[in-house]
Every structure is written in C-alpha cells, then in structure tokens.
Amino acid sequence: MQNKRFSPLQHIAITVYTLLYSSVSFLTLATFPLVHSDEAWLAGLSAEYIKQGTPLVTEPFFDLMPRTPHMMKSLFHYLQVICIKAFGYSIDSVRLLSLVFSIACLIAFYALILSMTSSKKVALFSSMALSLNPQFLYAGHFARQEILLLFILITVYSIYSKSSSGSSGLAKNSMGPVIAMGIVIGIAIALHPNAFIIAVMIGILLIRDWLSGKRPFGNLIVFALTLAGFGILHISVALYANPNFVGDWFAYGRTLSVDAAPASRFGNFIAFYLKLYDQISGTYYIPPMKWYYIGTAVLTVSAVAVSMATKGSEHLYRKRQIFDSALLLAGFNLAVFIIGRFNTTSITFSLLPAYVLLAISMHTFSLHMYKQTAKMGHGNPGTIKKRPDPWRFRSHHILFICHLKK
C-alpha cells in the first residue's frame, strides 16, 4: 500500500520550492528565451480569434502561401485568448500560459513520484532536478504547446501507474482508467496533434500489460476506440472549417518530408539526435544537454540490466517501474519516427520517463543503503547500531576523576 500522506515538513518544502521556482521564472519570463517566430505566429492567430470572434480564421500577417483554417489547435488558442484578454497582448501574457503549466507539471510529477515510492524526499529532490533541466525551463517559458502536452503525459501516466499498482483500488482490468486515459489524450489533440506521441507511449505500456497477462485485450480495444472517437470528432470539425483539410494537411506534411521513405526517415531520425547533441538548429534555441542524453542512455541501460539480474518478489514493483520508463522512452522514439517530423522541441516528451527513472534509481539506492546500515544491527532494521558518542564517555571519565579527587 502506497503512503499518500504529506508530512507538514515536506509539504512546506515543496510549496516553498514551487513558489521560489514560480517567482524566478516569472521575473525572467519575457527575457528567456529570446522571442521565437512560432510564439509571435501562434499569439497572432489567437489575437485574430479575438478580433474576428471566430476560430474560422487564418493568419493575416502571412500570405506567402495559401492558408486555410484547420481548428486542430483551437483549444490552445482559446487558452491563449484567455491570457490575452486578462493581461493584454504581450509576450508576458502568452508565455504565462506555459509558466502555469510548468508549475502544474512540477506538482503533478511530485505527486506521481510520491505515489510510486512513498518517499517524500525522493519526490522532492527528483522534482527539483526536473525543474532545473534546461529543456524544462525552456519549455516553461516558450509560448508553444510542448509544456502543456508534458502535463497531459504526466497526468495520463499517473492514471496508468495507479491503475496498474492497485494503489487507488482500481482493478487492473477496469475499463475506467483506460477510458479516462483515452479521453484526456483525445482532448489534448485540440492542443496539438503531437498528442499522438502520448498515445503511442501509453499504448506500448498497455500492449505490454496485455502480452504479459496483466490486462485483458478489451482494454486495448476500448483505449483505441476512445482515441479513434476523438480523432474522428477533431477531423470532422476540421473538415467543417475546411472541406479540403485532409489534402491540405498531407500537402503541408510533404513540405516537411514526413512522407520520406523508411531509409531516409531513419537517417533523419539519427540526424535529429546528432543535431540535438551538437546544439544545431535552424531557429530554435537548443539548451546544452549533452549530459542529459548521455546520462539518460547510461541510466536506462544500467537500470534495466540490474533489474533483470535482480531476483526476489520484493523487487518486482521497482522492476516494473524501471521497465515502464524504458518502454515510455521507446514509445517516444517510435512515435517521432512514425510522424517523421523531427522537431527539436519534441524532446520535451522524454523528460517524464527520464526523471521517473532517476527517481526510481534514487529510491532504490536509498533502500540499499538503508539495508546495508541495518546489517550493523541484529538483522532487524529497527535495531540499527549507532556509533558510540566519544563525548559521552569523556563526560563519564571526567565525573569519575572528580569523584576520586574528593
């Protein structure tokens, strides 16, 4: 049974840290990073929503190529509309949406790790580590959809994790969590079509559960049908706005080489990571993250290897968490490969499995150290031997000498 109680000390710690993170981020919101054309583009279209009073609009500031309304990101634009109406049309107001969701990501991630490890310290330190990741900081200040989708990913994985562990009382074959995950991802399509990446990441976990006998095949069918229902809904709305939506969408995709042959696509996939590693980009800012890519790869391989070599029923839950993280990373890479659109900002999706893996590794190490310390006792962790306090014995010696002098 997972411990969900928040001690006052740890509750204060994560609250104070979140307030500190929020304050520093708010003060630097307009200065980091430099304004990108995507931000001005998206904000300009949101402003046009307000001006025209309808989402059936295109960008009036761009006429180089024909533009048609598509409605695929309308939820994101309406969220920006709220910020613009409340705080004015400025870089601060449109970036404020990303900052709010980055704070929500930290809180949701803290709750996720706490439910997985029952360790408030591990949840706190891993959340702090996530908040200091350059890509996370960048996404939290960037007026695009990536940080919103990261929050969706954390939320959906939290539902999956609780339903799989049984910590919430939900049966593993219950349709409720599967339907909930499908609904959340389906709604996220209106933020950005890259919600497909989340669907693939979670879908791989569900397929693994089915193959291992943890879930019935019906769960997969319900998950797929829920997503298909939302997909049909979004496409229907897009067709209402533009009857030629499907043809226009594929035509635009061809300009980005999403229809490349498998061999060329694989080459583009390798180039995607090489450019990230070397910080090569056309217009996007790429944070210095070589340590992140190397560290995530090493940690994933070593954690999976150690978990496979570890035996014992007490390690089954941690082994499952490690394999979950590895499968999420595999799902992310598979989804990016399928899409064929190798945008550097999509690496934000990898932050969840990478930092879950870090948290599980921290927790496993702390448990190992605890057991090693327990061996100093009589085999019972409650009777750990303590090192003698030299000052205690010195005080007895001094009293004994004073007694002799009397």
> How far apart (Å, rounded) are the C-alpha atoms in residues 175 and 8?
36
Radius of gyration of the chain (CA): 25
**SS3 state of residue 69:** coil
d(CA 325, CA 352): 8
| Structure tokens, 327 | 């499968």
| pLDDT score of 1 | 39
Task: Write down the pLDDT at residue 351.
Answer: 96
Contact indicator for 339, 196 with CB cutoff of 8 Å: yes
Q: What is the distance between the alpha carbons of residues 86 and 80, in angstroms, rounded to a whole number?
A: 10
The pLDDT, as a whole number, for residue 165 is 64
User: 113: closest CA among 100, 126, 99, 104?
Assistant: 126
The answer to whether 123 and 359 are in contact (CB under 8 A) is yes
CB 178, CB 149: distance < 8 Å: no
Tell which residue, 14, 3, 13, has the closest CA to residue 117: 3
Q: How far apart are CA 206 and CA 201, in angstroms?
A: 9
Q: What percent of the chain has pLDDT over 90?
A: 51
Q: Which of 123, 158, 97 lies closest to 18, judged by CA? A: 123
Tell me: the pLDDT tens digits for 107-135?
999 999 999 988 888 999 999 999 999 99
In whole angstroms, what is the distance from residue 178 CA to residue 199 CA?
12
Q: Which amino acid is at 246?
A: V
Position 29: which residue type?
A: L
Cα gap 397→389, rounded to integer Å = 13
Nearest residue to 366 via CA among 85, 48, 122, 88: 122
Which residues touch 248 (CB under 8 Å, ≥6 apart)? 68, 70, 242
Tokens, residue 119: 């360790």
Q: Show the low-confidence residues of the chain (pLDDT under 70).
A: 1-10, 64-66, 165-173, 310-315, 367-406
Kindly report the pTM of this predicted structure.
0.86
Structure tokens at 286: 């790429």
The confidence score (pLDDT) of residue 390 equals 37
Q: Residue 129 burial by CB count (10 A; 0-12/13-18/19+): exposed, middle or buried?
A: middle
Contact 205, 160 (CB under 8 A): yes
Structural contact between residues 188 and 146, judged by C-beta atoms closer than 8 angstroms: no
Which 3 state secondary structure label does DSSP give 240? helix
| CA 100/CA 359 separation, integer angstroms | 23
In the chain, % helix, strand, coil (3-state, to 5) comes to: 75, 0, 25
> Contact, 78 vs 49, CB < 8 A?
yes
As a residue count, the chain comes to 406
Give the dihedral sign, CA 333/265/194/293. Answer: positive
Distance CA 256, CA 340 (A): 8
CB atoms near residue 406 (< 10 Å): 4
Q: Rounded to whole angstroms, what are the CA distances from 182 to 153, 233, 313?
A: 12, 13, 32
